Structure 1
Amino acid sequence: MKSINLQRTESLLMELIPMALSSLADTRINSLPITGVNCKNGKYDAIVYFDGSDYDKEEVKSIISALNKANGRIKTDVLASTGWYKCPNFKFELDTSLEKSKHIEDLFAKIKKTKSSEE
């Protein structure tokens, strides 16, 4: 279980990262939905998850590349907003939990359909 301070940090980053992204000129990432932040090693590393369900694999790769290039600017904005001494190193990853939950819902629908056709 995570400490309250770490959960608070993740919550704050969930608010600040989209604000930092919105100030960027790159249209691929300035309105990208951030779905989660997972801090590791205290506040030294953070995995930032985004919803890329509307993009194919090549577009996701270019989005991650653009996010990595903007990493310094995002960190600067977060530091300016929080007054922290140090900002976590951000690693950006595609959030696949939405796809998994949709797949599970589809399976439940199939099961329901199969059961109703058997009756």
Structure 2
Amino acid sequence: MKSINLQRTESLLMELVPEALSSMNDHRIRSLPITGINCKNGKYDAIVYFDGSDFEDKEIPGVVSALTKASGRIKSYVLSATGWYKCPTFKFENDKSLEKSKNIEDLFRKIEKDKKSDS
């Protein structure tokens, strides 16, 4: 169970990271949807999950690389917006859970269609 302070930190970062990304020059990350942030070790590390479904699998490493290069500017933005002394170190990961839920929804639609065709 996460502490209230850690949950607040994650919530604040969920607002600030997309704001920081919106000011970037790279079109791939400027409007990238952030789906979640998981803070570890207090506020020292944060995994930022993004929705990479608009990209092909071979493009994802380039997006992660662009995000990693931009992490210094993201940190600066977060520090200036919050007044924190230290900002978490960001690690970026493609959120595959959205893709899995879409596949499950597609499967349910197919089952429903098959049931109707059997009737």
Task: Report the TM-score when normalising by structure 1.
Answer: 0.93
**Aligned ranges 1:71-110 → 2 under 5 Å:** 71-110=71-110
- Identity over aligned pairs, percent: 73
User: Following TM superposition, where does structure 1 have runs of at least 4 consecutive aligned residues deviating by more than 2 angstroms?
Assistant: 113-119
1:31-68: CA deviations, max 9, x gaps?
11111111111111111011111111222111110110
**Could you say what the CA RMSD is over the residues aligned between the two structures, in angstroms?**
1.2
Using the TM superposition, give the Cα deviation of residue 83 of structure 1 relative to its aligned residue in structure 2, in angstroms: 0.7
Question: What is the match of residue 112 of structure 2?
Answer: 112
| In 2, Cα distance between equivalents of 1:32 and 1:110 | 30
Give the letter for the 1:81 counterpart.
Answer: A
Uncovered stretches (5+) of structure 2, i.e. residues with no partner: none
Using the TM superposition, give the Cα deviation of residue 106 of structure 1 relative to its aligned residue in structure 2, in angstroms: 1.2
Uncovered stretches (5+) of structure 1, i.e. residues with no partner: none
1:4-40: CA deviations, max 9, x gaps?
1111111100100011111111121111111111111
Structure richer in helix, relative to its length? 2
